[in-house]
Every structure is written in structure tokens, then in C-alpha cells.
Amino acid sequence: MSDEVEDTDGNAILAQSLKHQGIEYVFGIVGIPVIELSMAMQQAGLKYVGMRNEQAAVYAAQAIGYLTRTPGVCLVVSGPGLLHVTAGMANAQINCWPLLVIGGSCVEDHEGIGGFQECNQVELSRPYCKYSARPPNASLIPVHVEKAIRCATYGRPGAAYLDFPGNLLCARVAVDKVADVPRVKSPPTLIPFNPYIRSAAALLVNAERPLIIVGKGAAYGHAENSVRRFVDEFGLPFLATPMGKGVVADEHGLCVASARTFALQNADVVLLLGGRLNWMLHFGKPPRFSASVKFIQVDISAEELHNSRQASVAIQAHVCATLNILRLYLVEKKWKFLRTEWLDRLYEKCSLNKKYVESMMRDTSVPLNYYTAFRHIQDNIPKDCIIVSEGANTMDIGRAILLNNLPRHRLDAGTFGTMGVGLGFAIAAALWCQTYAPEKRVLCVEGDSAFGFSGMEVETMVRYKLPIVIIVINNNGIYGGVDESTWTAVQNYDNLTEVIPPNCLSVNIHYENILTMFGRKGHFCTTTEQISNAVREAFLDTSGPSFLNIMINPSADRKPQNFAWLTESKL
């Protein structure tokens, strides 16, 4: 009988701890000191996706976290590797998506004397996440993995960081000395305080012009059944924040998104469900909202309540639980919103705005405008596809025309307005579809500037055979560029750095040709017929990514806006 004690190392402990805690996906780029760790992860049964850029990897990891409510893991090397993902950590934290970043780091006995890629990674990560730590020894790795995942998922979701020096990953420990930690339980459901429910019910019953705003929190909380029943049963008009789209269908008869400005300005009671009164909702302040509007605010984060503007009723609870109880109070009062004057005014405004957009859509002159291009995309895509979008006008105009009738089927630049997220998000969405909804497809719509941030992730899509349809809306620049004749004239100058406008990119670039590197063929579109044919063909191809490069007028713009709200101080 042998007295030999079975041992293991930090790589195996970490990989098995992640698997035990329910982690499914890891996105990253390997190098010293995490090469062996990536292999241990695959051996433990984790799905490892090798990316081309750390930023794209961290964007993919947080998107899979949003779609599954279990953190995706981003694995990076020390120093620059970790620093490259800080933008993504901040994006996850501000976007409220669960994420776990695991960084390799300099071996501890080289710290302070100029070790390879030495960097104070725990402290650097702390401002961008809810939990940042380095396990003190290999046997305690499971303790910190459990806490990091719990912090990333409990309360308002966000990012967590764990730091692993090379010597910690290689350290050997007796198996019976490794901490035995139970799996993180599902976050508890926050139930609303009944007196607040009664106050909210009283506000709604007495409202002349009520409005529901559906936020991303309602989508993340899987509250769609409760929200839909509430809207239908009481006949309340609603609109959604960008990633709240689809909780109630964009095509629902009570959706007043086409009259967004009018609805916000004239509502007297707003029921805000999992949304924040930040810049995306104009801080809840005039002139976008009435000075006398009353907010019923529902959020799982106590710190968010009364932020920017005092709410009349502030409820810290989950959206689903709140609506279910609020509904019972209103049913008991036999209440249904029947004031048709408010609805008639909203529908009238919707109709006027839709006529303007439809007139833009009918303009098929070449070069095309945004609205026409998007109409011919919308008319030819599956109605249940996941839509990823980034860019300035591309994202904003596309939001109004590319419809979402299902929750969690739109991913975009989000609250932080982060560019470069698109292809990483699309990769995560395609992997989610493979596992959970193989019949669904992913559409990734990018501005030409946005595509440039992470364009080489097309190779990742090819490598993993992900049938993502990429569409670049190409206007030769950031917000807009110049036409070919102007560009040609500029080329005659000696010092181009002094004359090419900062917003301009090269003219008429054939981005679709990136697919030729991988033996695939893209589509270059300048007419509506070409767009329709190419979109249909792309969605028939399930062997890998497809690519449409749609040229539009460099001067094409969005519908005029009433407020310079984005850059204007509200103080």
C-alpha cells in the first residue's frame, strides 16, 4: 500500500473551480504564463474560444454573460494583456453585465525588480470591477473563484478580476488540502415593499398620461412575460431603451417608440422598469421630460434610486416580482387605462414620424441613404435573429428600423457607448445560438469606422465556423466622410495629415474582400436590389460568416433631432 499523496497544480485547480461554479465559456489570447491554464480549461470541459484581440475577447465574454446570466471568462496574459481589457471591464461594469477576467501575472519573486510584464494588476483593475483579488495560495483558489462569480452576478451584475502569478499557477498542492467550496446559488429575488406598491398603484390610477419605459434590466431579469401581461392587461403605452427592445415586441400596438420625444415630454407618470435616468434617458430632466412628471422607479440597485432626479416612488426590487404584485393591486381596483385622448395623440405623432421615415425609405437613388438601406435589410432578415449593432448613425438609425420582437435579441454599444464591441458580441451571440437556439442566426451591423476596431475577428468566426452575417454600412468615415471626387482632389496635396479631415476614412473600401483571405466571397452593394439579394443569400449560408459592404451617401444623415441633448450640460 502506497503512502503517496495525490497532488494537483494551480492550473488544474482553477480550471476545475470554474467548471464547478457553472462557467461554460472562456475567451482569450494565450501567452506566458497562461498557456498551460488554457489547456487545463479545455481538459476540465470548458469551451475555449481563441480571439485575435484582448478587447474583443472581453467584449465576447461579457456578452455571453448577459445572454446566459453566468459570467463569461476572459483569459489574458500579464501586463499589456490585462491593460487591453480594462475598457471591456469598464464596459461590463457600467453596462451591468456579469464578467470574470482572469489575468496571468509576473512571478512573485520577480515583483519589484523589473519582472517580465510586471504590473500592479489587482489595483489597476479595482476601479473597473466589483471584486479584484489575488488568491494567496493555490489551495484557496476555489474560495476566490466562488466569491468573484458571486460578486459578478449578485445585486447589480458587473465585472470581477482574479490575478494569477506564474508561480501560483504552477504550484503543486495535495488534493485533500484544496478548499471545498459549494457552487454559487442563484441570486435571491428582491420582493418590493408593499406600501410602495400601493403608492405606485395610486399614481397610475390617477395618471392622465402614463408611460412605461422598459430598460435593459427588465431584459436581463427575464421579466418579459410579466411586462407583456402588464402592458396588455392595462392598455398602457410603452417604449424601450435600446437593449430593452423586444421585452415587449417593437411591433406591439402599444409601442410608441416612433413618438419617443413627444411621449417623454408629455407623460405625467413614468413607470421605469430596470432602466436608469442617465444620459440615455436625458437624466429624467427638462426639456426632454416635463418638469412635473412623476417617476415610479424599479431597480435592483438601491444606489440607483433617486439618482439624477427624485422619484415619486422608488422600489428596490426585481421587475418581475414588482409587476406581479402591482398588477394584483390594480386588478383589485378594477382599473384599466381607458383615457384614449393620450393614446390618440401618441398614435397621431407616431403616424407623422413614420411618414417621414417612410419617405426616406422610398428614396432609392444612388448613393443610398441609411433608411433605404436598413429597410431592405429588415425586409429580408429572419424575424427572430439576434441583432448586434455599433456605430454612430448606423446604430441609432438601425435601432428604429431593425425591429426586435424578442427579449435579449439586441446587443449594442450600450450605456458606456463603447466602440469595437460589435464583432466580439456577435461571436458570443453565435456561440449562444449553437448551444441554446440552433435555429437562430446572428446579424452584426457595423459602421465602417466601428468595423475597423476589431475587423480581424472575422478570422475567429471562420475558425469556429460561426454563420454570422456581417453588414458594414459604409459612408467613408466617422459619422460621415467625403465622396470620391473630393477624395481624389485631396490626394494632390503633399502633406495629407494637414488636409484629410479627421472624420474621413479611405473612400469606397471593399471591406467585404476580407473574406477572400479565407476562401469565402463577400458582397459589395450599391443598390436596393443588390442588398435584398445579398441578405437572402447570406442567411442561406450556414458554413461560416457572410459579409455585405453597403455603400451609402457620405452625406447621409439621420432624422433631425430637437435637442442637442448629448453634449449639452444639464446643470
CATH number of residue 149's parent domain: 3.40.50.970
Question: Model's pTM, two decimal places?
Answer: 0.95
Pairing of strands 47-50, 7-9: unpaired
Nearest to 477 by CA among 497, 451, 445, 496: 451
Same domain, 170 and 198: no
Nearest to 409 by CA among 212, 250, 187: 250
Same domain, 344 and 367: no
Q: Flag whether 316 is in a domain.
A: yes
Q: Flag whether 482 is in a domain.
A: yes
Q: Flag whether 26 is in a domain.
A: yes
Q: Flag whether 571 is in a domain.
A: no
Same domain, 307 and 439: no
User: Contact, 524 vs 516, CB < 8 A?
Assistant: no
Domain that holds residue 497: 363-551
What is the chain's pLDDT, residue by residue, as a tens digit (571 residues)? 456 779 999 999 999 999 999 999 999 999 999 999 999 999 999 999 999 999 999 999 999 999 999 999 999 999 999 999 999 999 999 999 999 999 999 998 898 889 888 899 999 999 999 999 999 999 999 999 999 999 999 999 999 999 999 999 999 999 999 999 999 999 999 999 999 999 999 999 999 999 999 999 999 999 999 999 999 999 999 999 999 999 999 999 999 999 999 999 999 999 999 999 999 999 999 999 999 999 999 999 999 999 999 999 999 999 999 999 999 999 998 999 888 899 999 999 999 999 999 999 999 999 999 999 999 999 999 999 999 999 989 999 999 999 999 999 999 999 999 999 999 999 999 999 999 999 999 999 999 999 999 999 999 999 999 999 999 999 999 999 999 999 999 998 989 999 999 999 999 999 999 999 999 999 999 999 999 999 999 999 999 999 999 999 999 876 554 444 444 544 4
Q: Flag whether 556 is in a domain.
A: no
Q: Flag whether 159 is in a domain.
A: yes
Cα–Cα distance for residue pair 384/406, rounded to 1 Å: 7
Residue type, 126: R
User: Domain end: 144, 177, 210, which one?
Assistant: 177
Buried b / exposed e over 227-239, threshold 16 CB at 10 Å, is bbebbeebebbbb
Query: How many structural domains compose the chain?
Result: 3
Place of cell 458570443: 428
Same domain, 309 and 450: no
Residues with Cβ < 8 Å from 330, sequence gap 6 or more? 201, 204, 205, 234
Same domain, 109 and 48: yes
- Report the run of H or E that residue 308 belongs to, with start and end: none
Cα–Cα distance for residue pair 520/262, rounded to 1 Å: 47
Q: Flag whether 357 is in a domain.
A: no
Cα–Cα distance for residue pair 40/417, rounded to 1 Å: 35
Q: Flag whether 497 is in a domain.
A: yes
Residue type, 471: I
CATH (domain of 337)? 3.40.50.1220
Same domain, 160 and 29: yes
Same domain, 337 and 374: no
Pairing of strands 442-447, 523-525: unpaired
Rounded (10°) CA dihedral 162, 167, 173, 177: -40
112: left (phi over 0), alpha (psi -120 to 50) or beta: left
Same domain, 255 and 321: yes
Same domain, 483 and 542: yes
Same domain, 395 and 342: no
Instruction: Report the DSSP beta bridge partners of residue 504.
Output: 477
C-alpha cell at 527: 443598390
Same domain, 395 and 268: no
Same domain, 462 and 514: yes
